A and B are shown apart, each in its own frame.
Chain A
């Protein structure tokens, strides 16, 4: 008897206590901090309304948004993590994930996202040593932008587009022969710009079948015959048909109708739309043997601070932002970005627009650099090799060979 009374009391006590806890929880709001990069007037209102909507759905969570800029956002994140004042949720470019994961600044979220793995693309970029450290949000790649008018002037059919490398090179050559005096160039070639130059070479590199490392990741093989051939051809079109400028300069010249073909990202679609540029252009997949070729992929990811006190809320927010519906909302507002959600990719917004569709298709056939905290150094070496071959005295083979030796040394350290 006594026992039962005890139990009853205990139960009552537990009930009361848990009720109290729930009530207390309902009253105390959790604030999570989110650092993100989308600030231009086209997209900022959408970010804002997404956050408001999340707060309405989760009355117990407040989201404090801090805007970062591309110019020094990375620096700010590093300082935030180093000084222990980092945000709960942070947007990271795919290049940065390994660095933060390896130094223990962002949380392993493998278990939390396990069920989503089939519904999203891009996990490869946020998986470091077998564990997932960030959720893919927005993906990006580069495709060919071709000036149709110049193509027609060079004698091609109005609907023709190159599907193989020889066709691609020939088209560049024929457009280029339309005349330098009038300022017509076949190809837009990037000058030495940090993080930009090598990204233009990599599609050639991968499409030619070259690899950075052996399959077991043990040895750097960046100076393989295929890689050298890719660099030779890249140098050839750059030297003979290339309008060499920075990314902005190339795009300006392309939009002014002075360049036949350039390799560019979805931001250019947005620019053409916003600036209402009248240019007769087409987008097409990077050509290759075994069409299409492999382009370069990167992306924007959402990660959770390893030291956050609000892990669940942070994950909830990430799920909300990356949900197919909200990805589409984001991409529509930004006009061109590519969602990581497969469901979102299938939306008519993408499938019914020929240019946006090119990007979605290319993303499925794009590669990304290895997730490696040393990637920043490796990238530097690749970039230097390309720079040497294109603008210095270096021969493609020797430049790549030197890069291989140095990358091997980096890996050994």
Chain B
């Protein structure tokens, strides 16, 4: 649909785009600016525009707080969960895509149902399971329940269904084991889907707050969002440092998003759900 536009129409269009841009990106720019502001300076508009830039807030945080530890926790947990998601979602998605038996159909139905179940209502039993299972306040509590996720299975299944099974069948005739078929044939063919579900899993887990917050209590196990939320109520924290910490929490995801933009977008439009 190509239509000719008047100059006026174009100006109006760009004007609108830029206004929306300011609204959508403004708060994030504000965060970045405050994180680079001297901590003794107040946050007036004038200071934000004219005061010099310093990275002292960042160096302070790394030197005087456990920010490095929180960063590690976030990265570690999100990475392990992402790897788990890649492996397990493709594995299960493969079975669901290729087998038309009734157990497989029932299993797929459970995946779809769980996609619709609100997670927050199981916080109490999940808390108790972790407590009684002895994994409360350990990395396990941050990882185990999230290693596999219905959205990932759904994405993997849809994708695998779009690949003709001829290569797998050929390998099977050659006597390859199912495990070998999964890792040597299915996984490589699924690369695009894997990229999508990996990015989504990583971003979701990196940003996750409620579950890390309630399933751990040690300072050593805090992820960035938890640390930031708890830092806020603290006596001696100023906005400059808080925003520096926030920037650290946001930057990796923004970078990842820009690098993997296409995958994020296609994942969202295909699977449709992010927690």
Contact = CB atoms under 8 A, between A and B. Distances in A.
Is the pairing of A and B real? yes
Interface of A: 41, 67, 69, 71-72, 75-76, 79, 83, 248, 267, 271, 274-275
B39 to A, nearest CB: 10
Interface residues of B, number: 9
Interface of B: 64, 131, 136, 217, 219, 230, 233, 235-236
A69 B131 contact: no
B131 A83 contact: yes
Contacts of B233: 71
B34 to A, nearest CB: 15
Q: What does DSSP make chain B's interface, helix, strand, loop or mixed?
A: loop
A267 B236 CA distance: 10
Given A72-B217, A79-B136, A271-B235, 17 more contacts: A41-B64, A67-B219, A69-B219, A69-B230, A71-B230, A71-B233, A72-B230, A75-B217, A76-B217, A79-B131, A79-B217, A83-B131, A248-B235, A267-B235, A271-B236, A274-B236, A275-B236
B228 to A, nearest CB: 12
15 contacts: A67-B219, A69-B219, A69-B230, A71-B230, A71-B233, A72-B217, A72-B230, A76-B217, A79-B131, A79-B136, A83-B131, A248-B235, A267-B235, A274-B236, A275-B236
A266 to B, nearest CB: 12
Contacts of A83: 131
A202 B230 CA distance: 27
A267 B234 CA distance: 12
Nearest to A74: B217
Contacts of B235: 248, 267, 271
Contacts of A274: 236
A49 B236 CA distance: 25
A213 to B, nearest CB: 32
A369 to B, nearest CB: 22
A248 B239 CA distance: 12
B164 to A, nearest CB: 53
Contacts of B219: 67, 69
The residue among B136, B217, B233 with the most chain A CB atoms within 10 A of its own CB is B217
A326 B86 CA distance: 56
Query: 7 nearest interchain CB pairs?
Result: A71-B230, A72-B217, A76-B217, A69-B219, A75-B217, A267-B235, A79-B131
Contacts of A69: 219, 230
Contacts of A71: 230, 233
Nearest to A67: B219
Nearest to A73: B217
A250 to B, nearest CB: 12
Contacts of B64: 41
Contacts of A41: 64
A398 to B, nearest CB: 32
A249 to B, nearest CB: 11
Nearest to A82: B131
Nearest to B216: A72
Contacts of B136: 79
A251 B233 CA distance: 13
Contacts of B217: 72, 75-76, 79
B64 to A, nearest CB: 8
B69 to A, nearest CB: 14
A67 B233 CA distance: 18
Contacts of B131: 79, 83
A248 B231 CA distance: 12
A75 B127 CA distance: 12
A271 B219 CA distance: 23
Nearest to A80: B217
Contacts of A67: 219
Nearest to A77: B217
Nearest to B238: A252
B222 to A, nearest CB: 9
A267 B233 CA distance: 15
A278 to B, nearest CB: 12
A119 B135 CA distance: 44
Contacts of B230: 69, 71-72
A75 B233 CA distance: 17
A394 B217 CA distance: 38
A387 B136 CA distance: 36
A271 B237 CA distance: 11
A113 to B, nearest CB: 30
A72 B131 CA distance: 15
A271 B234 CA distance: 12
B254 to A, nearest CB: 27
A410 B99 CA distance: 59
B225 to A, nearest CB: 13
The residue among A67, A248, A275 with the most chain B CB atoms within 10 A of its own CB is A248
A41 B65 CA distance: 10
A182 to B, nearest CB: 15
A67 B217 CA distance: 11
Contacts of A75: 217
Nearest to B237: A248
Nearest to A66: B218
Contacts of A72: 217, 230
A77 to B, nearest CB: 10
B220 to A, nearest CB: 10
A79 B217 CA distance: 10
A274 B236 CA distance: 10
A71 B131 CA distance: 19
A71 B217 CA distance: 9
B194 to A, nearest CB: 37
Contacts of A79: 131, 136, 217
B251 to A, nearest CB: 25
Contacts of A76: 217
A41 B236 CA distance: 12
A351 B219 CA distance: 37
A83 B130 CA distance: 12
Contacts of A275: 236
A70 to B, nearest CB: 8
A75 B131 CA distance: 12
A171 B131 CA distance: 54
Nearest to B231: A71
